[in-house]
Structures are given as C-alpha cells and as structure tokens.
Structure 1
Amino acid sequence: YGFMWVVGIWLAVWWGLRRAPRYGVAPDDALDIAFWSVLTGIVGGRVAFVLTNWSQYAPDPLSAFRVWEGGMSYFGGFGLAIATAIYLIRARRIPIWQLGDLAAPSLALGYGIARIGCFAAGCCYGAPTDLPWGVLFPGHDHAVHPTQLYATGMNLLIFAGLTWLEPRKRFQGQLFALFLVLHGLYRFINEFFRAGATSALMLGAFTYGHLVAAVVMAVGGVLYWVLARRHTRTHATNV
C-alpha cells in the first residue's frame, strides 16, 4: 500500500517537473509546492478517513497511525493539498491557473498508480459481484468488484486525455477545470460499485462519496465556464 502511494507520488512529481519549464514555472518552486501539498494531503487524507470511520479505530486509537494498513480519504487529502498549494502559489506569486494546468495530468497519473496500493491492501473494495473479474479478498466470503483497479484505469485514461489536450488547450485553467469535472465523474460512477469505506446517504443508492463527487464536478464545470468566458472576452477585446 505505502509503496504504491510512494510510486504514484514520485511519478506525479516527476511528470510535473519535466513540464514545469514550458509553463514558465521554476522547477524548484514546483518541487516545493508539490512536497508540501503531498505532505499535508497525506495528513488530511488520513485524518478525514479516521474521523469518518471512527468506530473502527475507537477501540485502539493508536491504530490510526498505522497508515501502511490502508485507509485514506482522497477527497479529504485533496482538499487540504489544494489549500496548501493555493497558499504557496500566492506567496510565490505564480499564476495560479498556469500551475493548475501543469498539475492536472500529474494528479490523475499519481492517483491512478496509488490506487493499485489500495488493491494490494484490500481497502476501498467493491460490492459483491459474480462477474468473472470479481476478486476474493481475505476475510470476504464472496468476490467483489475490484473498484481500486477501476479507479486506476479511469484515472490513467484521464491522464492520457489531459496530456493529449495539453498542447491544444485554449485558455489557462482549462486542464485543471476539466480534471475536476472528469475526476468527479469517475468517482461518482465508481461509487455505485464500491462497498469498502462508503456510507449510505440517501435510500441506500447514494453515498457521501457521491455527494462530494457531485460538488467537485459542479466546481469544475463552473470554473471551466468562467475561465472560458473570461478568455473569450479578453480575446474579443484584444481583437
């Protein structure tokens, strides 16, 4: 679990550093922002997971520190990492949407690889299934959807799509806004197949994961619309 998260983070940072110069971002700045964002993201992800699954840790609170056993709230970590990145970006006076576009493909790549660690640890598993690719994890009496691998596949597709779009983008912030939309969509779809680390929110069909994913999609969609509109107005004024 821990190894694959390290591999995912390393690949994400490596990919971003390779492309930093074409965005006018100093590699040192990109590395510092990545380091602190990753660090706070890990803390935020673990804290959010423990709080939302406190009954699991209440008998032995110290087990909350055993991160190698699995258990991370991605959205909790993502939120704190983004907040950290915004603070550092403003402090160093780097164009925020420029850095957002630089980070977008890396986020999808790192997340996709890291989810292989969840598969190895047996956390974030899916609902029972009789499909031929169902996986029987230790402690289960029925095969389940390998939702961790679904996450890997969908996010690697997002990474490939954003990488293809990178040289064709029309305005700053387009890649980051699109990442939010696609990533939220992936999670919303995948949440229907998940069972591990999910809680029912409404009628047993929707979970808190669905709610957060819908918010992420909405934020990404509004951001895309606002930035595209701003670009169109600026272009029209210049013409």
Structure 2
Amino acid sequence: MENQIKPLDPVAIDLGGLSIKWYGVIIAIGVVVALLLALRESSKRGLDKELYIDLLIWAIPISIICARIYYVVFQWDFYKNNLGEIIKIWHGGIAIYGALIGAVATAIVFARVKKISFWQLADIAAPSLIIAQAIGRWGNFMNQEAHGAETTRSFLESLHLPDFIINQMYIEGTYYQPTFLYESLWNVLGFVVLLILRRTKIRRGELFLSYVIWYSFGRFFVEGMRTDSLMWGDFRVSQVLAILLIVVSLAIIAYRRMKQNPPYYMADKFGDVPKRK
C-alpha cells in the first residue's frame, strides 16, 4: 500500500515556465485573512483603515527579508561557502521568528512616524498574526516539511487524522509526526483565546503580549519534536527564543501595570487619527 502513496502536488498552477506553488498560495490566503480581520477590528477602534494597509505594504517585504536573514545566520556554515544561495529564497529557508521580528520592528517605526501607539497597532494585529500562522503551516504540509520524528501509520491513524494528512506524512518510505498540524491547531486555539481576552479587562498592549506568550509556549514544545530545527550549539534556537520571549513579555506586563497603568483595551480608542491627504 505504501508504495502506491504519492505526495500531493506542491504546484498549484503551472504556466509553462512559471509555477505557482501551494506554499505561496496558502501564505497569501493567510495574509488576506489576517488583513481582513485587522481592518474590521481597526475600524471599531477608530483607526483609519488605510494606515493599516500602508503598514502591511512595508511590513510584508521587510518581514520576508528578516525571515531569510534569520535563517541564513543560523545556517551560516552552509551559506558561507554558497553565497549565491543566500538570495535564492525560492529554494526554501525562512524562519517565522525572523518574520515576526521584522514585522514588529516595522510597526514600531511606522507608529512613531504616524504618531500613533505601537501597542494599539499590535493589539489589533495579534489575533490576525496567530490565525495567519495557523493557515501558513499548511504550506509546510504541502511541501512535506516542518515535520517531526519517524512514526508509524498506526500511530497516525490512532490520532483520527484523515487519510490525506496521513498519506502526506509518508516521505521517502517513512511516516513522520505532523508537527505542522500540532502547531497549526495550537494557533487556532490561541486565536480563540485572544478573541475572548480582548473582551475582558485586559490592558493596552497585553493582547499582543499574550499572543507572544501563547505562541512561544506552544512553539517551545513543538520545536522539540521537529527534525529540522535551527541550532545554536547544542540548543534549538526557537526554544531559546521562546523562553526569552515569554520571560520578557511577562516582565513587560508587570512593569507596565505597576508603573504606567495603561488603559483597558475595550475602552481604548485611537481617537482622531490623521486621514491620508
């Protein structure tokens, strides 16, 4: 039976010399869903929708570049002898934490230029970010990557997974743990949690910091199961960063509550935000 299993075609559209892969299509879907959710919430909070679109125009390319730089830095032993491969992002090799670092840095600068609160922008973006990540992991599924250790078909069947997932986890004669799925489901649950939290007495900035804590907590455990981790000596980079982000986020929440007393999210409005001229 296993010999007859064929992986799903990673190419969504083949236009002769140009191939559009499912990975890119799924990532694009995630971005669109995230944008629509952010625009809806930003309208409720009194933010000009065009400002959020302007932010994405800058954040998307910068995030991709940072995701690539992050990956290259921790795979430098390979790239230092293959410098021409650095720009060939289509060969694979981007890291979500690098993308998030780029997005956050862009949002901080953008907020300063536009004279609006970074924390308000980040709170609106938090549910959008985590659901986009949940969707994006299915791009890894189509590429048969970001999987865990070897396993058996019987184990996968015991998880009550549909056949199309089980069959896609059969890679070069071996079944693997669908860690892409574990992280995707964790992110979907996180999306629900964030939607609930933003209706509570959570303070400005804490919805975004809750997203960072939630994602990092789940990523720490999922990363420990993966076989393709970026390493820093004997440590998995994403696990080290996950712990650091959790500690820093909790410290920021505590500090801001003790020293700054930020307003509640539900009562927090942008007010009169300058319109585009």
- TM-score scaled by length of structure 2: 0.75
**Quick one: distance in 1 between partners of 2:117 and 2:54?**
16
Structure 2: stretches of 5+ with no match in the other structure: 1-22, 158-165, 265-277
| Deviation sequence 1:20-76 (CA, Å, 0-9, x none) | 022221101111112211220111102221332245556754444443443211111
Decide which structure has the larger Cα Rg and report it: 2
Structure 1: stretches of 5+ with no match in the other structure: none
Greater relative contact order (Cα < 8 A, sep 6+): 2
| Match among 106, 112, 121 for residue 84 of structure 1 | 106
Look up the match of 1:173. 205
| Match among 123, 148, 155 for residue 187 of structure 2 | 155
Q: How does 1:31-50 map to 2 (within 5 A)?
A: 31-50=53-72
The answer as to whether partners of 2:150 and 2:175 remain within 8 angstroms in 1 is yes
**Quick one: distance in 2 between partners of 1:95 and 1:228?**
17
**Quick one: distance in 1 between partners of 2:263 and 2:100?**
31
Q: Do residues 16 (structure 1) and 38 (structure 2) align? A: yes
Q: Do residues 6 (structure 1) and 6 (structure 2) align? A: no
Partner SS, residue 150 of structure 2? coil
Q: Which amino acid aligns with 1:46?
A: R
The answer as to whether partners of 2:26 and 2:135 remain within 8 angstroms in 1 is yes
Q: Report the CA distance between 1:106 and its aligned residue.
A: 0.6
Q: Report the CA distance between 1:136 and its aligned residue.
A: 3.5
| Match among 241, 258, 268 for residue 229 of structure 1 | 258
* Greater fraction of residues in strand: 2
Look up the match of 1:143. 175
**Quick one: distance in 2 between partners of 1:233 and 1:157?**
27
Q: Which amino acid aligns with 2:147?
A: Y
| Match among 186, 196, 210 for residue 218 of structure 2 | 186
Distance 1:125 1:142, change over 3 A: same
Q: Do residues 124 (structure 1) and 153 (structure 2) align? A: no
Look up the match of 1:219. 248
| Deviation sequence 1:76-120 (CA, Å, 0-9, x none) | 121121111100011101122111110110110111111110121
Q: Do residues 208 (structure 1) and 237 (structure 2) align? A: yes
Partner SS, residue 143 of structure 1? strand
The answer as to whether partners of 1:45 and 1:77 remain within 8 angstroms in 2 is yes
Q: Which amino acid aligns with 2:110?
A: L
The answer as to whether partners of 1:46 and 1:73 remain within 8 angstroms in 2 is yes
Look up the match of 1:196. 228
Q: Report the CA distance between 1:165 and its aligned residue.
A: 1.6
Distance 1:136 1:5, change over 3 A: same
Distance 1:143 1:47, change over 3 A: same
**Quick one: distance in 2 between partners of 1:6 and 1:234?**
34
Partner SS, residue 132 of structure 1? helix
* Greater fraction of residues in helix: 1
**Quick one: distance in 2 between partners of 1:113 and 1:51?**
26
**Quick one: distance in 2 between partners of 1:51 and 1:60?**
13
| Match among 54, 59, 75 for residue 97 of structure 2 | 75
**Quick one: distance in 2 between partners of 1:194 and 1:71?**
15
The answer as to whether partners of 1:178 and 1:224 remain within 8 angstroms in 2 is no
Question: Identity over the aligned pairs, expressed in percent?
Answer: 26
**Quick one: distance in 2 between partners of 1:83 and 1:100?**
11
Q: Give the number of equivalent residue pairs.
A: 231
Q: CA RMSD in A?
A: 2.4
